[in-house]
Every structure is written in C-alpha cells, then in structure tokens.
Amino acid sequence: MRTTHPTALVVRGGWEGHRPIETTDVFIPFLKSNGYTVRVSESTDVYADPDLMADTDLIVQCVTMSEATAEQVSGLASAVAAGTGFTGWHGGAADSFRASADYLHLVGGQFAAHPAKEPALRRGTAADSFLPHTVQITPLGREHPVTAGIEDFTLDTEQYWVLHDDLIDVLATTTHPVRPWHPWQRPVTSPAVWARHWGAGRILITTPGHDVSVLENPNVTTIVRRGMLWASRTASAS
C-alpha cells in the first residue's frame, strides 16, 4: 500500500573514498523538509524487493563501484520504468556496478576516467586528479527546471570523463583540454549533468560530487536538490 507522503529511499555503500554516508547525510534533511519519508539502506538488496520499490517515489543512490546482482538491477530498472525516480552524483551513480551492462543501459552514462595533473605534481593522493575546470550549462540546461538560472561555474576537483549514449538530455558539460602529458589530441567534452526518461520514470545524474565540499558548492547543491524533486514520482506522474 502506498503511503500518503512521498517516500525516498537512500541507498549507500560501495567504495568508502566517496564518503557515501557523509555525502547522503548532506541531503536527507532537505528531503525531509520537503515532506518525504526517508528510508536508508546500506545494501542494494532492497532493489530486489518489489513491494518496497513500488512504494518508493525517489531513489537516491551513492554506491561507487561495488556489485549488484542481476535480480537487484532488474528490480531497480523495473521500478524506474514504472515511475520511481532515480538520482545520484559522481561515482555513486555514474560509476556503480561496473560489471552490469543493464545498469549502464538504465542510467545512460559511465565514468571512464578523471584525468590527472602533470606527473611532476602528483603525490599519490586523490588530489592528483583535482583539476580546475568549468561546468558549462547547455542551451537545453538553461531552460530545464533542474539547471535554469544557474550560470557556468568552476570547480577544482575530479573532472569526470563519461562514456554515454544519446538518449540522455545533457544539461551541463565539461571539456577536457589537450595537455602535453595526456594522450588525446583534441578537446573532449563530457556530460556533467544529464536527465533521462526511462518508461514512466525520470533519472538525473550529476557528475561533480567527489566529497562533501564539492556537494556544498552552491551550484552543485542546487542541481542535486532540484534533481531530486524533478526525478521524483510526485513530479513525473504529472
């Protein structure tokens, strides 16, 4: 039986380097303040529970790498196709379940790399891949409710290189320049924020979000928050 309030399911885990607990905790109060009943799961087992999925309006996932069974991914995809919203950021959504082609088919984009600084500046830490870059709002993004009114902005963090299909609606991009120590020979533009319709459901992926400090950038915070509301069944049912 469906509840009277919208329900959000926060699924978190996987690689600890992306701080799945700390980063999702940033947004749980926002969901509650918008009337959501919030459930939290530390396991993707919940995706294989059809009753729970049917009673979920929004899934917020932060599970980097890790593994999900075919049954779990099928349950997730079926729920989204039936109207459950799905959203997440960075590796928690764009680099989850690398061995699952069905998950990649669902979200439409997969992390491939985050290019690093020149070799002489690397120190063997995560900051080796922190590069200043610009997130550019696309013409579509300037009209879309998730990104409307947001101007291009800069970050100094991991810049995701994403492999993707053309079913996604790209709301923002970032361009990897040509640098002497990298092997590519022309600039490469990747989606940084994208929306996707899947059956009756909506998906919103934001690639910035390596840690709490990035998610607390006002532009990133706004995109993630709006993305939750936009993707939710309460919006997509209309």
Q: At how many degrees (to 10) do helices 218-231 and 20-33 cross?
A: 60
Q: Look at residue 1 in the predicted model and tell me its pLDDT.
A: 47
Across 183-207, average pLDDT: 98
Question: Which has the minimum average pLDDT: 4-8, 28-32, 87-91, 98-102?
Answer: 4-8
Is the CA virtual torsion 26, 29, 33, 34 positive or negative?
positive
pLDDT for position 2: 53
pLDDT per residue as tens digits for the range 14-26: 999 999 999 999 9
Q: State the average pLDDT over residues 73-81.
A: 98
How much is the pLDDT for 72? Answer: 98
Percent of the chain with pLDDT over 70: 97
pLDDT digits (tens, 9 = 90+) for 154-178: 999 999 999 999 999 999 999 999 9
> 22 to each of 112, 174, 182, 216, 218, how far by Cα in Å?
24, 26, 33, 12, 17
Confidence of residue 4 (pLDDT cuts 50, 70, 90): confident
For residue 217, give the nearest of 143, 160, 134 by alpha carbon. 134
Q: In whole angstroms, give the CA distance from residue 44 to residue 11.
A: 7
> Would the pLDDT of 69 be above 90?
yes
> What mean pLDDT comes out for the span 184-196?
98
Q: Is 40 exposed, middle or buried (0-12, 13-18, 19+ CB in 10 A)?
A: middle
97 burial (CB, 10 Å; 0-12 / 13-18 / 19+) is: buried
Band (pLDDT 50/70/90 cuts) for residue 219 is very high
pLDDT digit string, tens, across residues 140-150: 999 999 999 99
Between CA 51 and CA 57 the distance in angstroms is 12
Alpha-carbon distance of 159 to 210, in angstroms, equals: 10
Quick one: pLDDT at residue 238? 43
pLDDT of residue 3: 54
Task: Give the Cα separation of 128 and 11 in Å (integer).
Answer: 29
Closest residue by Cα to residue 142 from 150, 134, 132: 150
Q: Tell me: pLDDT of 237 over 70.
A: no
